[in-house]
A and B are shown apart, each in its own frame.
Chain A
């Protein structure tokens, strides 16, 4: 299996996958919740320095697959993952791999903003502290400020870093969670419907932010909004009933879908 990563990407692959280095490679992945078969034989290549969007109706398995990438499914006792997922050629379900180190390399932003009940500063400093990234206090402060700036939140909160993170508005809380995630300088950022709890203005801010972060991170975003997928992503994957139906450049998926189910979904015939 390890040799597959070296093989050149086929001509039929999406353009973006040919232009950018490969970051995440999944082959024949199945996920079960107890008896329920949530994902069926999924294979996908996700490129670095780009935004990949997973779309599809509710319960189609897109969030489940996202949570398999940083092994958050491990926290659900009944969940079982088979198959092969590699990041930079390394099998993440390998027995020798420390899941804690894996998650430190992969940031995650959740559907509902979940800042810790601590100050804004402590929220961002949480990851650097537990991983010992900062040598001293000034170092830590710099990491916090840089992360907040990258998340586009610094100007709004610079006078009240000691206020509780939960005192912010919903959109600010979500940007705080993004700042928290990028403070440990991850390689991949997973976003699970990051805007579904936000109003249109806050959503627009987050989308701008995702577009900026794309330069430095491999971003995977699950979204219910096809407009959002079309706006922010370069690669789009359409999931349906636990199957990956179609993957392609976002432009192609939305203008010339190959599969009938994809076409029905993006034209709003079901969903």
Chain B
């Protein structure tokens, strides 16, 4: 139904543009410059008006139409038979299957009648909506053509229309964000009605196994996120210990020392590292790095778990090196050459210039690069799932198995769930915590950048 409608709409919009531009040229005649706007703007003006009118009809009309069709279809049944949502859905499915010819078994007479009513109502609204839309579009075209005069400010009107289209686009992004946050907050509220926020935030034990039966062993779930936060921080710290120095120093080399030839080879290779899917890095961590660390640890007489925070952290560090190096490289390059010249002219060596002038000037950008890398590390799931394990140990020993907030969310929501148990709902509370964590990091990064932004220039 909507396919035909949108095809008709496209035809009418194009027609509106062509007719509008033509009429404007006719009004202008051979006196160039007598129109307020170019003919194309008159065409765009009418086309935009047609688009707006027909979209409005569809947005309002389509839900009304489908509501009407459903009520016609269900009208063949007794009201008591379709009082419940579940029964109503089943009846509708039967009707639709019968019309499509895939109904299993022999349909009852009642169902046949319902299907007949349903399909006649559908074709009615199909024609109704399309005809209404075309009439409205045509009416708008005639109205618009009548308005075309030399004084019509078609250009300004069309630009106002464009402004609203742009506003709507950014509105979609904002509304999506708000929607996600609200849904997470809403489900988290459900969770907090079952588990107190104090226990959640400060509890030292995480074992989200709630009982199916009251007499089950281990029936009391424990929802303390401290071990998860500790695991997340541990892995993030290890990752940043790897990515911070390596990324920053390679950025300094790339920006200040490398010849253009070396730079043109090394920089793309480094950026390929950012393109490796995290799941590939994950099995690299689990199957190569973790056994290696375990082997070394055992040869030194250390007790190493086969899934360790160290393995996950190291590989995650490798993953975020390109973030740190690429962003830092950009900000170091953005430091004006005049500052370097000033320092060299004072008799400073290259490394003194980098340490005392270039890096301090690039500091805000470098800090925000680190913050972005940290948010990446905190939000990363795949590598940790595969290499760090699931055991919620409260430990800062990098050789032990730990788990992170993201891994627990994934574990809680994979497989069968019931949405009234604290176990499933706790995933949303964890999501909320994670959201605030990265929000805080981004906010800090933003503030730092703002504070130092106008230092040079």
Interfacial residues, chain A to chain B (CB-CB below 8 A): 70, 72, 75, 77, 100-108, 110, 112, 114-118, 126-127, 130-131, 164, 166, 177, 180-181, 184
Interface locus among B114-122, B145-153, B337-345: B337-345
The answer to whether B136 has its CB under 8 Å from any CB of chain A is no
Residues of A within 8 A of B352 (CB): 130
Given A117-B360, A117-B361, A117-B456, the answer on whether A112 and B347 have CB atoms closer than 8 Å is no
Q: Is the CB of B338 within 8 A of A114?
A: yes
The answer to whether B346 has its CB under 8 Å from any CB of chain A is yes
The answer to whether B455 has its CB under 8 Å from any CB of chain A is yes
Give Cα distance in the complex from A164 to B342, angstroms: 16
A-B contact pairs, 12 of them (CB 8 A): A72-B344, A75-B340, A103-B346, A105-B347, A107-B345, A114-B336, A126-B346, A130-B356, A166-B456, A180-B342, A180-B346, A181-B346
Give Cα distance in the complex from A177 to B446, angstroms: 31
Residues of B within 8 A of A105 (CB): 347
Give Cα distance in the complex from A126 to B344, angstroms: 11
Total count of chain B residues near the partner, CB < 8 A: 23
Closest to A177 in B: B342
Given A75-B341, A114-B342, 5 further pairs, Cβ under 8 A: A75-B344, A110-B338, A110-B342, A114-B339, A114-B341
Q: Which of A100, A114, A115, A118 has the most CB of B within 10 A?
A: A114
Residues of A within 8 A of B339 (CB): 114, 116-117
Interfacial residues, chain B to chain A (CB-CB below 8 A): 259, 336, 338-349, 352, 356-357, 360-361, 454-457
Q: Is the CB of B346 within 8 A of A164?
A: no
Residues of A within 8 A of B455 (CB): 117, 164, 166
Residues of B within 8 A of A180 (CB): 342, 346
Give Cα distance in the complex from A269 to B454, angstroms: 43
Given A130-B352, A166-B457, the answer on whether A103 and B342 have CB atoms closer than 8 Å is no
Q: Is the CB of A110 within 8 A of B349?
A: no
A-B contact count (CB 8 A): 72
Q: Is the CB of B347 within 8 A of A110?
A: no
Closest to B338 in A: A114
Give Cα distance in the complex from A74 to B63, angstroms: 73
Residues of A within 8 A of B357 (CB): 116
Q: Is the CB of B356 within 8 A of A103?
A: no
Closest to B363 in A: A117
Shortest CB–CB separation between residue B37 and chain A, in angstroms? 43
The 4 closest A-B pairs by CB, nearest first: A104-B347, A108-B345, A117-B455, A114-B338
Q: Is the CB of A130 within 8 A of B348?
A: yes
Residues of A within 8 A of B356 (CB): 126, 130
Shortest CB–CB separation between residue B356 and chain A, in angstroms? 7
Q: Which residue from B259, B345, B349, B361 sits with its C-beta under 8 Å from A70? A: B345
Give Cα distance in the complex from A196 to B188, angstroms: 63
Residues of A within 8 A of B259 (CB): 77
Closest to B347 in A: A104
Give Cα distance in the complex from A199 to B259, angstroms: 39
Give Cα distance in the complex from A184 to B342, angstroms: 13
Give Cα distance in the complex from A47 to B348, angstroms: 27
Shortest CB–CB separation between residue A205 and chain B, in angstroms? 20
Shortest CB–CB separation between residue B195 and chain A, in angstroms? 50
Closest to A113 in B: B338
Q: Is the CB of B360 within 8 A of A104?
A: no
Shortest CB–CB separation between residue B338 and chain A, in angstroms? 4
Give Cα distance in the complex from A75 to B259, angstroms: 12
Shortest CB–CB separation between residue B59 and chain A, in angstroms? 53
Residues of B within 8 A of A184 (CB): 346-347
Residues of A within 8 A of B349 (CB): 100
Given A166-B455, A166-B456, A166-B457, the answer on whether A116 and B347 have CB atoms closer than 8 Å is no
Q: Is the CB of B341 within 8 A of A110?
A: yes
Shortest CB–CB separation between residue A59 and chain B, in angstroms? 19
Q: Is the CB of B344 within 8 A of A103?
A: yes
Q: Which of A102, A107, A116, A127 has the most CB of B within 10 A?
A: A116
Residues of B within 8 A of A110 (CB): 338, 341-342, 345
Closest to A74 in B: B344
Give Cα distance in the complex from A130 to B344, angstroms: 11
Give Cα distance in the complex from A180 to B361, angstroms: 18
